Structure 1
Amino acid sequence: MCALAAAGGLAGCSPSDDATPHVAPSPTASTLNSPSPHATSPAELCTHLITYWAKQELDEGQGSGLDYQEKGLSDGQNAILLTTLTAARAERAAHGAAAGDRLIEQRAQRGCAERYRNGTPTTDPWAQTKLPTSTGSP
């Protein structure tokens, strides 16, 4: 029977005993102790994006030619970035680059936590241009 299984590409037979099913090896200690994968929350991703682009803008001047969509930001995330940049520029001018960077991280984290406090925002960018639907009969 194993000869047929081997010819058909099936696994599960041992060469010494055709009646013994193949048993998967038990997990090793390293696989049992490995951390489970972490799914990045929308707020964490937002914080990372805002922090990255704010520092790029202030440190290297990169990104100033890109619009918010080219940076991978939503309109709401871009609003957080712009307010963060304004505050960080003032903080850097008054207290130095390290203070400005700390402010970027704080503002990005706070702004993104607020934006995603109830899950992903579901605003419709075209809501103001749509005609209201009638609920009653004419």
Structure 2
Amino acid sequence: MRHALVGLAALSLLAGCSGGPATPPAATSTSTVDPVAVCTNQLVYWAKDILGNAKDTGLDYQEMGLDGDQYEALQALIDEARKHQSGGAVPPDWLQEQAKAACVKLAAKPTPTSRGNGWP
């Protein structure tokens, strides 16, 4: 009888341990980053920084977080903005609109499927 009680106690202990609450699955995020919005924000930030006569920090395009095409778009944006500034102030949303238009064009460019020879 004593062995039966010990066995029954062991079974109920095991049943109690295995019946605990299951851990919920990890939450996954389905949000995606809009590359046009990221590009636009970067171009507007750096254009305002440069046009505001900020001290030259000596950053190259990679240190700014830009790729070569984005840097060229930034330079064109700055050149256009300076032309507008010479005749007065740039309209409030002008930088944002121009940067977004440039980034839409960049996003529409086909991406190369092979890197060819050179750096990866």
TM class by smaller structure: 0.5 to 0.7
Q: Greater RCO between the two (CA within 8 Å, min separation 6)?
A: 2
CA–CA separation in structure 2 for the residues paired with 1:5 and 1:115: 61
Matching of residues 15-94 of structure 1 within 5 Å:
38-62=31-55, 64-94=57-87
Q: Residue 122 of structure 1 aligns with which residue? A: 112
Q: Residue 100 of structure 2 aligns with which residue? A: 109
Deviant stretches of 4+, over 2 Å = 1-8, 121-124
Q: CA RMSD in A?
A: 3.4
Q: Residue 136 of structure 1 aligns with which residue? A: none
Shift of residue 47, structure 1, vs aligned partner:
0.9
The structure whose Rg is larger is 2
Q: How many residues align?
A: 103
CA–CA separation in structure 1 for the residues paired with 2:113 and 2:81: 28
Aligned-residue identity in percent: 25
For 1:104, the aligned partner's letter is: L
> 1:56, 1:63 within 8 Å by CA — same for their partners in 2?
no
> 1:43, 1:112 within 8 Å by CA — same for their partners in 2?
yes
Structure 2 length-normalised TM: 0.65
CA–CA separation in structure 2 for the residues paired with 1:7 and 1:86: 70
CA–CA separation in structure 1 for the residues paired with 2:113 and 2:72: 14
Higher share of residues assigned helix = 2
Aligned counterpart for 2:14 among listed residues 4, 19, 25: 4
